[in-house]
Structure 1
């Protein structure tokens, strides 16, 4: 790419070679430049159209797969008319996280509230899982489940930094709580 400033006369602006299509054509053949001509005629572009209708499967006994029946609530986008024929039901919605997911699917997928509520529902579901473990007498090993041993083994500097930040935050919280109680 030309980066030199050249002025043929006092009236021509600098960098005219980079912006003027006529000046580019005067420099010669540009077809060796990757991506050059991407906005030219579609008939000359080998990748156009990118999407094609895939061929139908041969020898199948159906035009569309049979609709899967479900005994649990399955969320789907309100932007589509119906359910896909096949979907997963391994983790049905339950508890507060399920109610949050139900609330999230009232909004369109292009609405930020949809995704933020789903993120919050995931965090609530994690908390519900910990409470469920405690209710069944299983004390979760949060350090291992959050990747602590791997962090210590492969990213010691990051582990120490996080430990210092958490220790400082806990010490500050304890200090402020003790100071308030005096």
Structure 2
């Protein structure tokens, strides 16, 4: 198999994987819920101290906290950084729905595909500026040393998620 054939096959599988979640209303709703939850988690984790303090004062501060931290993310990383966070959240929603479809179709035997998505989710935990999810895990010092405000890590997480989806293809079809 030539490189062109492989690239063509991966492109086709990526297209199939990206279109699968949008074929039914139930899957679209699941993608939307996971995407919003991922975005909220990423944005709130940009400044965990403020998030905990504001939300500790009352849940009625949730919307203001989300807006302030979104504005802070935009001010810190610009439209490109915020766009990568949104893209990462969307790809996470697609990957979760895709993985659920894979489990439903093939059962738990495809555990290697399940674990293939985890590095992208963990590595891009700091897809927003600041401490991010890796900061929650105790890696805030390492994140401070990253160049380009963590953009390379964001791109790496997006590439890992796209790689998982390209490798997996449509979960209803056997890739062998």
How would you bin the TM-score normalised by the shorter chain?
Answer: under 0.3
TM norm structure 2: 0.23
More helix by share: 2
> Greater CA radius of gyration, 1 or 2?
1
Greater RCO (Cα-Cα under 8 Å, separation 6 or more): 2
